Structure 1
Amino acid sequence: MEQITLTTDRLLLRPFTSEDTDAVYEACQDPDIQRWTVVPSPYARSDAEFFTDRLSPDGWRDGSMYNFAVRTREDGVLTGALGVNRRSRSGTYEIGFWTASERRGRGYMTEAVLCAARWSFTALGCDRLEWRAEVGNVPSRAVALRAGFRMEGEQRSGLLNKGVRRDTWVGALLPADLGLPGTAAYVPATGVSAAP
């Protein structure tokens, strides 16, 4: 897919470039980003270079992942990273994100997630956008809830992070949750109960 830039009232979401390497490297020195995300730990400058110069552009080229540098429109500072990854060819994608420590608590990432969700539903043909985070990552869960994700439960051993299997929370957002049409009809289960 051709790379695109998304905008909100306060934010600019654009594909990563080598110009973002220093800011990504600095942000990923934060112990919380290293603890709660799958970025390498310790995080080296070469990790930032790989992410901005190779992994992100390759994902756009082959349609497997769409990583955005989230920057404020006011000052252009890197606020965070947001990725939309294809999970299946049947319209399921997963969203993930981190926020730079000094930019947390301002609603930036919720705004970015909603923008990326709308784009996913309208441009990618996404019919289900999943969010997952390790159990205990309360800030990520708060962003997902504010963006309208419905929590669907926990997955045992749902994430491999730095060689350790961890339980995850999982939630999903559907096009209808944002007043948008899906690409396929959706019939939710009603009145169905499991056999004893």
Structure 2
Amino acid sequence: MEPVTLSTGRLLLRTVGPKDTHTVYEAAQDPDIQRWTTIPSPYLFEHAQNFTDQLAPEGWANGSMFTWGLFLPEGEELVGMLGLTMRSMSEAEIGFWGTKEHRGNGYITEAVLAVSRWAFVHLSIDRVEWRAEVGNAPSRAVAERTGFTIEGTLRSAIVHQGVRRDCWVGSLLPSDLSLPSTAPYLPPPTSPDPSGV
């Protein structure tokens, strides 16, 4: 697939390439990004180069991962990164980080909504899943603000810096954004009796 550029009221979402290597490298030096995401730590220049020159373009080319840099349109200042990794034909996992200077402005929330809507409409995705290490409150806040249903905690479900850790998991469905699904969704019946009788 050719890279797709999206825009929101305040952001330009476009793929990253070699011209963005220095910018990505500098942003990823933030200890909070290295603490809460699965990028290498320490994050070396060659990591950024591999990401912008190979991983991001290859993900678009083979349809396995769609990565956007989130930029302010004026001057294209980087405010964050967002990736959508395909897990099956109808499910993808979303991940994101925001640059230190631009956190708290709602940019990531705006981008998550735009990309999720795009995935539902153009990829026929029926579920976008979000995961974050337990304790990553800013990531959870973004998920909740964008309408994800927090479904629980998965034990030992992510590996970060060689250590297995628990993570929160949540989902966003097309119906959460008033969009149709490719297949009907039948939630379980609700019953006031915990035994289900």
Q: TM-score, normalised by structure 2?
A: 0.96
2:19 alignment counterpart: 19
Match of 1:116 in 2: 115
- TM superposition shift of 1:131: 0.2
Aligned twin of 1:57: 57
Task: Give the equivalent residue in structure 2 for 1:172.
Answer: 171
Q: Within 1, Cα distance between the matches of 2:60 and 2:75?
A: 26
Q: Which sections of structure 1, spanning at least 5 residues, go unmatched?
A: none
CA distance in 1, matches of 2:98, 2:128: 19
Letter of the structure 1 residue corresponding to residue 85 of structure 2: N
How far apart are the structure 2 equivalents of 1:84 and 1:57? 13
Task: Tell me which stretches of 4 or more aligned residues in structure 1 moved more than 2 Å.
Answer: 191-196
| CA shift for structure 1 position 2 | 1.5
Percent same amino acid among aligned pairs? Answer: 55
- Partner residue in 1 for 2:84: 84
CA deviation string 1:97-118 (max 9, x = no partner): 0001011000000000000000
Give yes or no for contact 1:10–1:74 (8 Å, CA) kept in 2.
Answer: no
1:45 to 2:83 alignment: no
Query: 2:149 maps to what in 1?
Result: 150
Distance in 2 (alpha carbons) for counterparts of 1:170 and 1:138 = 13
Conserved 8 A contact 1:2-1:60:
yes
Contact (CA 8 Å) 1:151, 1:170: kept in 2 or not? yes
Cα-to-partner distance string for 1:175-194 (whole Å, 9 max, x where unaligned): 00000011111111113656
Cα 1:194–1:14 shift into 2, 3 Å: farther
| 2:46 match: secondary structure | helix
Structure 2: gaps spanning 5 or more residues: none
Matches within 5 A, 1:60-139: 60-89=60-89, 91-139=90-138
Question: For 1:171 and 1:84, how far apart are their aligned partners in 2?
Answer: 14
Aligned to 1:32: 32
One-letter code of the match for 2:26? E
| CA-atom RMSD in angstroms | 1.3
In the aligned structure 2, how far is the partner of 1:195 from the partner of 1:4? Answer: 46
Aligned length: 195
Per-residue CA distance 1:7-66 (angstroms, 9 max, x = gap): 001001001111111110001000000000000000000000000010000000111000
Question: 2 CA distance for matches of 1:18 and 1:125?
Answer: 30
Using the TM superposition, give the Cα deviation of residue 75 of structure 1 relative to its aligned residue in structure 2, in angstroms: 3.6
Superposition TM-score, scaled by structure 1 size:
0.96
